[in-house]
Amino acid sequence: MIRLTGIARVFRVGDEEVHALRGINLAIEQGEYLSIMGPSGSGKSTLLNVLGLLDRPNAGRYELNGRDVTHLSDDELARVRRETIGFIFQSFHLVPRLTAGQNIELPMVLAGLAPAERRRRLDRLLADYGLTARADHRPAQLSGGQCQRVAIARAMAMGPTLILADEPTGNLDRHTGQEVMAVLERVHQDGGTVAVVTHDPEIGARARRRLRLIDGEIAEDKR
């Protein structure tokens, strides 16, 4: 499903070059559940951003679902993100003025789905993630765990095949973090490909496949 060959990402800070990713080769099959761990600054977020088409590699080739997406235009990338990729962030990134329901609806609104179809999907998502009673609440009125569930529901709104989570439990206490992981694992059980970046070894260990990044290179790939 995903094939990265020789992916490199170099940041230029002043005169210095920071090699965030060095020649990454990675293949991920449909339905895999993998965790990405590693020390701070090892390139975990950068790898996730490249996988999620938010960032372009400086070198290498990226094939997604059999299609070379390395050189797509910005608008084409936006379309692929909308249709096939769901993002989950450490700090949720909910729009504060919108209600939980409206936040979940946002990707469907951007995709131009008809209101009736949106309503149908929204009701399902709210029920699936236990948010029906919270649909009209704003993010400020929700707990961290609830916010992350809203974010997950939003990521799932367009039925993506690839779910990318960057430290989804980073802002949550242990117990809530476990809950959120359980929700993510349900997505995996439903057939989605899930990649989770985490610093928590316990959470990392829950994944069937565990990557370890050190200094922009894959140091370990355990199954």
Partner 1 sequence: MRFPDLFRFAWQVLAGHRARTALILLAMGIGVAAVVTVSAIGEGARRYVVEQFGSLGTNLVIILPGRSETAGAMPGVLVGKTPRELTLDDALALKRSPAVLRFAPLIVGAGDVRLGSRNRETPVLGTTAEFIQVRQMDLARGVFLPAGDPRHSQPVCVIGATVAAELFGAQPALGQWLRIGDRRFRVIGVLARQGESLGFNTDEIVIIPLAAAQALFNTEALFRVLIEAKSRERVPEATADIEEIIRLRHEGERDITVITQDAVLETFDRILRALTLAVGGIAAISLAVAGILIMNVMLISVTQRRKEIGLLKAIGATGAQVRAIFFTEAIILALGAAALGLFVGKLGELAIGQAFPLIPFAAPWWALVAASLTAVITSVLFTVAPARRAAALDPVVALSRR
Ligand X SMILES: Nc1ncnc2c1ncn2[C@@H]1O[C@H](COP(=O)(O)OP(=O)(O)OP(=O)(O)O)[C@@H](O)[C@H]1O
Name the residues that contact Mg ion, by CB under 5 A: 45
Q: Angle at the Cα of 211 (from 55 to 197), degrees rounded to 5?
A: 55
Least Å from the CB of residue 141 to ligand X: 29
Residue 128: DSSP 8-state = H
Binding status of residue 41 toward ligand X by CB under 6 A: yes
CA 19 to CA 21: how far, in whole Å? 6
- Number of residues binding to ligand X, judged by CB under 6 A: 12
Task: Round to whole Å and give the CA distance between 46 and 186.
Answer: 26
**Binding map of ligand X across residues 9-28, x = CB under 6 A, - = no contact:** --x-x----x-x--------
**Token reading at 171:** 């802002």
Query: Between 126 and 203, whose beta carbon lies closer to ligand X?
Result: 203
In order, the DSSP letters of 188-223 are HHTT-EEEEE-S-HHHHHTSSEEEEEETTEEEEEE-
CA pair distance 143, 166, nearest whole angstrom: 19
- Read off the tokens for 62: 């990226």
42 lies in the site for ligand X, by CB under 6 A: yes
Instruction: Count other C-beta atoms under 10 Å from residue 51's C-beta.
Output: 23
Is residue 44 close enough to count as binding ligand X by CB under 6 A? Answer: yes
Our CB check for Mg ion shows the closer of 43 and 107 to be 43
CB of 97 to partner 1, least distance (A): 4
Provide the 8-state DSSP code for 134. G
Binding mask 46-65 for ligand X (x = CB under 6 A): x-------------------
Q: Which is nearer to partner 1, 165 or 210 (CB)?
A: 165
- Residue 41 or 115 with smaller CB distance to ligand X: 41
Give contact residues for ligand X (rule: CB under 6 A). 11, 13, 18, 20, 38, 40-46
